[in-house]
A and B are shown apart, each in its own frame.
Chain A
Amino acid sequence: MDDVPDRSGAGMVAVPVAGPAAITVDRVTKVFDGGDRSVTALEDVSFEVPRGGFVSLIGPSGCGKSTLLRLVAGLLPASGGEIAVGGIAPREARRKRQFGIVFQQPILFDWRTVAQNVGLPMELLGRSRAEIDARVTELLGLVGLADFADHRPWELSGGMQQRVSIARALTLAPPYLLMDEPFGALDMITRDRMADELLRIWSEEIDTTVLFITHSIPEAVLLSDRVVVLSARPGRVAATVEIDLPRPRSAEVRETPEFFALESELRRQLLAAEQA
């Protein structure tokens, strides 16, 4: 696959965002109809996520980030504009089970154990018991919950629940990973560890395209190839910041002047977007 960006970080050169777009959002508008209480959540939003790329959305609360994620996942129809995922409509991509989604809330089922919650997508698609068990064990280890496989969701902390839902989103090894503030409920240390894990998974699964929503500026800089800054409601693209830091990005990257520069650039853009 020569159209996939090189993440090896060989020679520590900046990796340009390259390759054909995997997700194209083109002049998309979303209006929630409600008579005189209609809300325009998104207006004329355009951006692209290259195949194998990692793009973050950042913006003030209520600006339409979660809505945008639902549109891309084909869970909601857009009011205007076009979205394509791998060249097909979001609904079609959803039918082909190409999405792994981490919603803003964990959405776990109390009648299932942690392991059964993680294995749910595979179970629903009729995979074999052995296959499910192996995958679930692997993923629970990955998110640091191996000891909690047989626990019930309510016995877990909020952050642990969120990690279960991250593991669940990964079960089918989806080509498109849509994550809505997945680390929102985690402490700083766990957050950093999960971010590192996510980067590792992403670099191993070379074809995985990630659309990531976050409120954390350092997280956006650490993870992304590109950060799309949305303005306050109705959400519009206020700025796009390319993160041309070399990969793999280790913990040390966070201490470099380049990292700080990108952070403050993003902070400025976000402030401007909030005030707009």
Chain B
Amino acid sequence: MGGRSRRAATIAATLLLVLGVWYPLAGLMDASGDELASSKLPYPHSVVRPVLENPGTLFDAAWATLSTALLGFVVGGAIGIVLSVVMAQARWIEAATLPYLLLAQMMPLIALVPLIRSIVKSDSLTRLLMAAFVTFFIVTLSALRGLKDYAPAADELFRAYDIGRLKRLRHLRFPSAMPYIFSGLKLAAPLSLVGAIVVELMNARSGLGFLMLSALTFGPAQAPMLWAAMLVTLAMGLALSRAVGIAERLLTPWQMRFRGEGGR
């Protein structure tokens, strides 16, 4: 079985498994006599209904979230890479900055959102910044690790030709860090969506988070919409991660796991 058909089979099996658990659970809920059962855990097919009935609403919301999250992801990724390069230049720079990075990341997102919004006074900019904030931390740490993981013997080869710091960075350390950077990006991509949605859940006027919030406040009848919005979020997160994976394969085909048969 080829890699592609195996992947398709895996996806199908996972879907079946999810549905296989979801349906009986929803059935149980329904049978429990709880009048609000369908709003707590609706059947999968009723979740599909709002998608079919209001594709525009869902699409607009998804696009509002995705576009700003994506921008934030790009900005955060770029900042993360630049910052990691700076930090990797000397041990003391790393020692001086790392604690602050960790502190910043400990800050509860929920507390950060109103603060940032009151400063930038824009919903979408706040969304973008939160997505960037979540991304940059992950990317900085993974890129930093990668920049330090190069073969000492290779460094010796560069030293043999008395090659300066910048060229060593470009031709040795950065390429060595690429797999790490990509694994950071793959992890950060879905989380940047979460960052944007957290902002939307706190009083924005568009986006999937906004849709979830209004579905919650408009009562039980809207429950399928809440679930639909969550499923769309999951799907977008997976798709983003996958897109980064494809970019990785294109940009770093030399990586061990992309090699053909018998690759060493």
Contacts and interface: CB of A to CB of B under 8 A. Distances in A.
Given A99-B160, A154-B259, A107 B154 contact: yes
Contact of B160 (A75, A110, A111, A154): A75
A32 to B, nearest CB: 14
A111 B157 contact: no
B60 interface: no
Given A107-B151, A107-B154, A120-B171, A101 B160 contact: yes
B263 interface: yes
A125 interface: yes
A109 interface: yes
Contact of A121 (B154, B161, B175, B263): B161
A120 B153 CA distance: 15
A124 B160 contact: no
Given A75-B159, A75-B160, A94-B160, A152 B254 contact: yes
Nearest to A157: B264
Nearest to B151: A107
A95 interface: yes
Contacts of A111: 175, 178, 252, 254
Contacts of B259: 154
Contacts of B243: none
Interface in A62-117: 70, 73, 75, 94-95, 97, 99, 101, 103, 105, 107, 109-111
B93 interface: no
A125 B153 contact: no
A150 B171 CA distance: 18
Interface string B115-148: 0000000000000000000000000000000000
Contacts of B9: none
Contacts of A154: 254, 259, 263-264
A190 to B, nearest CB: 20
A101 B161 CA distance: 9
Interface in B225-264: 252, 254-255, 259, 263-264
B258 to A, nearest CB: 10
A110 B161 contact: no
Say whether chain B's binding surface is mostly helix, strand, loop, or mixed: helix
Looking at A95, A111, A152, which has the most chain B CB atoms within 10 Å of its CB? A111
Contacts of B153: 103, 105, 107
Interface string B170-212: 0110010010000000000000000000000000000000000
Interface on chain A toward B: helix, strand, loop, or mixed SS? loop
Contacts of A97: 161-162
Contacts of B254: 110-111, 152, 154
A94 B162 contact: yes
Interface residues of B, number: 22
Output the residue of B153, B157, B160 with the most chain A CB within 10 A: B160
A185 B33 CA distance: 76
Interface in A96-150: 97, 99, 101, 103, 105, 107, 109-111, 120-121, 124-125
B245 to A, nearest CB: 18
Given A107-B153, A107-B154, A124 B161 contact: yes
B47 to A, nearest CB: 45
A120 B160 CA distance: 12
Contact of A124 (B154, B156, B171): B171
A71 to B, nearest CB: 13
A230 to B, nearest CB: 22
Given A107-B153, A152-B254, A154-B264, A124 B159 contact: no
B49 interface: no
Contacts of A121: 161
A75 B172 CA distance: 18
Nearest to A97: B161
B163 interface: yes
B167 A124 contact: yes
A101 B154 CA distance: 12
Nearest to A91: B162
Nearest to B264: A154
Nearest to B259: A154
A105 B154 CA distance: 10
Given A124-B171, A154-B259, A107 B157 contact: yes
Nearest to A95: B162
8 contacts: A75-B159, A94-B160, A107-B151, A107-B154, A109-B154, A121-B161, A154-B254, A154-B264
Interface of A: 70, 73, 75, 94-95, 97, 99, 101, 103, 105, 107, 109-111, 120-121, 124-125, 152, 154
Interface of B: 151, 153-154, 156-163, 167, 171-172, 175, 178, 252, 254-255, 259, 263-264
Q: Which 10 A-B pairs have the closest CB atoms?
A: A110-B254, A111-B175, A111-B254, A154-B264, A95-B162, A101-B160, A107-B157, A107-B153, A124-B163, A121-B161
